Amino acid sequence: MKTINKKIHGLRLMISNHKYICIFSIVIIALSISGYWWARSTEETASYFTWLIDLNFEKIELPAIVVSVFVALLTMEQNARITEGKLIKELNSEFINNEALSRIEAKLEKSFAYYMNSENPTAAPGLDIDPTIGGKDRQALVNYLVHLEAVAALVNNNILRLGAINDLVAYRFFIALNNPSAQEREIKPYSDYYSGCIKLYKKWKDILRRKHIPIPMEENGGVIEKLAREL
């Protein structure tokens, strides 16, 4: 998790820098336009672009400055995408390498498989987890949902793009959020702790629908959408 936190911090910094570069670019362009109209009001001046090309500021051409800013902007964008990719890799590694998360994911998949193949999906078995708070499998479910909550927070705060994690996380997200047992045991009673996932649910579901991608146990989504309205 320390590695992931470092990646998040780096990505936030790049996004912040990206914002300031954009502002700087706009200011430079605005100043150049203002300078042109001031020059035009005091003397006969050629067209704006001709004036801009001829303009020198301490022997440094303004167009070169603007071009440099945009090159820096593109570099920051590329670096942000690289950092985002590394962060996604770390998040995926947590799912794969964490034994507790892998165990509960297997149980969620088993429940989903039964749900899909049963003539009466509503009778699908529960997750067969220890109901005691702190129990081994009970805690694994909590950890799984908390991990999804961390992912949701990154998306909701524009640190990660939803499209970038769709292939890796969407299935894991919906087999948990739409699982009746997970809803009854954890999500509904402690919805305040999973508000990020609940807020993200409909947005993500709508994107998958537009792409005609099946949503695991979508029929159970009304529970989450109701919780979202109550937040």
- Is residue 231 over pLDDT 60? yes
Q: Would the pTM of this model clear 0.75, i.e. be above it?
A: no
pLDDT, tens only, 35-67: 555 555 655 555 655 555 555 544 445 555 666
- Give exposure, 187-226, as e/b (b: 16+ Cβ within 10 Å): beeebeebbbbbbbbeebbeeeeeeeeebbbeebbebbee
- Give the per-residue pLDDT at 228: 93
The CB density around residue 177, as the number of other CB atoms within 10 Å, is: 28
Domain ranges of the chain: 2-81, 98-230
CA distance 60 to 67: 12
Q: What is the DSSP string of 1-39?
A: -HHHHHHHHHHHHHHHHHHHHHHHHHHHHHHHHHHHHHH
The pair of three-digit structure tokens given for residue 4, joined into one six-digit string: 């992931």
pLDDT for the residue numbered 13:
44
- State what percent of residues in the chain have pLDDT above 70: 55
